[in-house]
Copies of this chain bind each other. A is one copy, B any other.
Amino acid sequence: MGTADRKAKEKEQLKSLILDSARKLFVEKGVEQTTIRSIAKSIDYSVGTVYVYFRDKNAILNELHTQGFAQLGGLFKVLAHVENPMERLIAMGRLYIKFAMENPDMYELMFTLKAPMEVLDQAKNEEWNEGISAFTVLKTTVEQCIAANHFKGHEPEPLTFMIWSLVHGMCSLHISDRTNGVHLNHANHIVDAGYEEFLKILKKL
């Protein structure tokens, strides 16, 4: 069965080729400008071929969104050695913001755009595993903070959601161009300045 294996491998390779090309175009030109035709053209295949490997454009966006979570997860691994959960929490926030600022299109795909979510069949009760995993990582750290006597009187899950939302909100507003009106005296970026305020609050808890 050597041929079957090889063909399976070739299929995987072409699928990866499509995805890599799609990601490249997507980061360069954005979601809307990344057309199936432009993807096909960039890898010298026809539009039809793309549709052999992906049900539709949303399926491609969904895979890219999954890759984004893998990338972010990879970055977070560096923080595993930080013993102090509070320190780790703070560092996670910084890294999250850094990732969002440096990869705004990927971030949108991961946390804002509806398209990559639409492959989840609600009838089948399919869940957003990437998000749940990422949330769980954050929640674990928050729970360790609570175990270390921080956040007294708080509920882990809603608190985790609140912290996530705080950081996400800043990134999201910035990426959606809603922070232009917020002028600052400081040389600091508004998102960084906002995060500093959050850190001041953390110290009081």
Contact = CB atoms under 8 A, between A and B. Distances in A.
Interface of A: 111-114, 117, 127-129, 131-132, 135, 153-155, 157-159, 161-162, 164-170, 172-173, 176-182, 184, 188, 190, 193-198, 200-201, 204-205
A159 B195 CA distance: 9
A197 B153 CA distance: 9
The 3 closest A-B pairs by CB, nearest first: A169-B169, A165-B169, A132-B181
A158 B190 CA distance: 7
A170 B162 contact: yes
Contact of A167 (B155, B169, B184, B195): B169
A165 B195 CA distance: 10
A187 B150 CA distance: 25
Contact of A114 (B132, B135, B177): B177
Contact of A157 (B127, B158, B184): B184
Contact of A165 (B155, B166, B201): B166
A113 B31 CA distance: 13
Given A135-B182, A176-B111, A158 B201 contact: no
Contacts of A132: 181-182
A131 B178 contact: yes
A111 B158 contact: no
B169 A164 contact: yes
Given A111-B178, A117-B177, A153-B200, A172 B168 contact: yes
